[in-house]
A = this chain, B = another copy of it.
Amino acid sequence: MTTIDALAATLRTVLGDERVISDRQELRTYECDGLAHYKVIPALVVFPHTAAECATAVKACVEAGVPFVARGSGTGLSGGALPRADGVLIVTSQMRQIVEIAPQDERAVVQPGVINLHVTRAASPRGYYYAPDPSSQQICSIGGNVAENSGGAHCLKYGFTTNHVTGVEIVTPDGDLVHLGGRAPDAPGYDLLGAFVGSEGTLGIATEVTVRLVRLPESVRTLLAAFPSTDAAGAATSAIIGAGVVPAAIEMMDALAIEAAEAAVHCDYPQGAGAVLIVELDGPAAEVEAQFVHVERFCRDNGAFEIRIAADDAERALFWKGRKSAFAAVGRISPDYIVQDGVIPRTALPEVLHRIGEIAAERGVRVANVFHAGDGNLHPLVLFDDSVDGEAERAEEVSGAILDLCISHGGSITGEHGVGMDKAKYMPRMYSDDDLDTMQLVRCAFDPRGLSNPGKVFPTPRLCGEVPGRHKGAHPLQEAGLAEVF
């Protein structure tokens, strides 16, 4: 009996036959997440229903020395939930109980498999909602959101997942159940909750999540403004933020992204636009009305040639339909594409967009830009045709060059999609060896055996005994060039 067979037998005893998959054909369903160009068929897939079952599954893996990878809905875009061929995929999507909706404390408690939008559905009759809204919010799960620290269009005003999680129960990589944070906004001791959120399954698996609920705004107003160029739309964005207005969202799409959205969902955006902005304000009616006038003026002053104001929820939904379907829509104008995810200071927008255009032109690659303009989180869509020799490689090059551009402008290699499998190789472009070693030391503190989602996030995974940094040599003063003191 192989190790995997023995482990499968153990897990069947604990979880029941129907919640352990080992059939090769059935396993294939789980070979990738939303980043479909990496594919690995896992050795086993299991579905815990409770924290105790999840802990038991992890302990069984540890006992067998088998790596494990947690997966929620599998919508991630960085390959964070890519399985291991020699490992177990622990799928939390059946842990979908909403444990508590407590509007009086502005909190909800949910299991990790609960769908993002379902938290809002459960809370909205009480006048509250869950603010972080990835484009995939109809299908992505809270557990996955926690693992990747997911963002969304409205994170400009409301912050990322990490700003909305106040407590988690986790299964550590050793199979212990531990609580980090709680209901209060700021627990004593180390804030390990912050380190856990966004750790992409490398520090353990969330089995229960306490999130903040936000009061539904009294008023929401949305406008769509068409500009001759991304420069003009960028200038309007800077003017709005520079004036101290913080809209719930400022989203930009360039001409190619608009073309794709029109082809897919017929959203009827203004014709001839070099860029559109969707600006949404929410809050108390008095504030929204007053600020809306400013936003409209900033758009006109910066060259908007058409401004539409959503008359009702239906029109508002139509504005958003084009934006939220933009990634998928690109499939209408290109057989293949890479969704990139970089961040730059907002003030660098015009310069970086120009340079992206130049890089794309130099390599003969088309790049559509759809992004959270308000916080400088770019999503360039690099188009290619995998059936044409060399196109995939050129697209990959352009994609990497765009990240370098973000870094050289003081930005970051990922805004909200995570590092996962896809961007581990770029980490040394942002961090020094000492910086990465410091992260690895924490990794090793949680997971000395390296079994919890190995191969993700870090560019050169090492055995934990090999990580230098805090444990290094005996003569620190000599290292500091002060040997002459002795």
Contact = CB atoms under 8 A, between A and B. Distances in A.
Interface of A: 10, 13-14, 55-56, 59-60, 62-63, 104-105, 127, 149, 151, 159-160, 162-163, 172-180, 182-195, 197-199, 203, 215-216, 218, 242, 244-245, 283-287, 289-291, 343, 345-347, 375-376, 410-416, 418-419, 423, 427, 430-432, 434-436, 438-439, 441-448, 457, 469-472, 475-477, 479-480, 482, 485-486
Contacts of A172: 438, 469-470
* Nearest 7 Cβ contacts at the A-B interface: A194-B194, A287-B287, A286-B290, A59-B476, A215-B244, A441-B445, A445-B445
A160 to B, nearest CB: 6
A439 B176 contact: no
A197 to B, nearest CB: 7
23 contacts: A55-B480, A62-B476, A63-B477, A105-B347, A127-B244, A149-B186, A160-B185, A160-B186, A162-B186, A172-B438, A174-B476, A175-B476, A176-B434, A177-B434, A178-B435, A186-B198, A188-B413, A192-B438, A193-B194, A286-B286, A442-B445, A445-B445, A445-B470
A286 B291 CA distance: 9
Q: Which of A56, A177, A469, A480 has the most CB of B within 10 A?
A: A480
A193 B435 CA distance: 11
Contacts of A441: 445-446
A425 to B, nearest CB: 12
Given A283-B287, A435-B178, A447-B470, A60 B477 contact: yes
Contacts of A193: 194
Nearest to A241: B106
A191 B194 contact: yes
Contacts of A423: 188
Contact of A347 (B13, B104, B430, B479): B104
Contacts of A104: 242, 345, 347
Contacts of A434: 176-178
A190 B195 contact: yes
A290 to B, nearest CB: 3
A412 B182 contact: yes
Given A174-B470, A176-B469, A482-B56, A188 B419 contact: yes
A158 to B, nearest CB: 12
B470 A56 contact: no
B182 A191 contact: no
Contact of A184 (B13, B185, B216, B411): B411
A253 B191 CA distance: 30
Contacts of A13: 485
B470 A412 contact: no
Contacts of A457: 189-190
A104 B414 CA distance: 22
A442 B411 CA distance: 28
A328 to B, nearest CB: 25
A191 B183 contact: no
Contacts of A445: 441-442, 444-445, 470
A145 to B, nearest CB: 13
Contacts of A430: 187-188
A460 to B, nearest CB: 13
A215 B416 CA distance: 25
Contacts of A245: 284
Given A63-B477, A189-B457, A215-B244, A448 B427 contact: no
Given A347-B105, A442-B442, A480 B56 contact: yes
Contacts of A347: 104-105
Contacts of A218: 244
A8 to B, nearest CB: 12
Contacts of A199: 190
Contacts of A416: 186
Contacts of A285: 290
Nearest to A218: B244
A262 B376 CA distance: 50
Contacts of A162: 186, 191, 194
A185 to B, nearest CB: 7
Q: Which of A185, A290, A457 has the most CB of B within 10 A?
A: A185
Given A172-B438, A175-B480, A480-B59, A186 B415 contact: yes
A143 to B, nearest CB: 17
A432 B179 contact: yes
Nearest to A406: B184
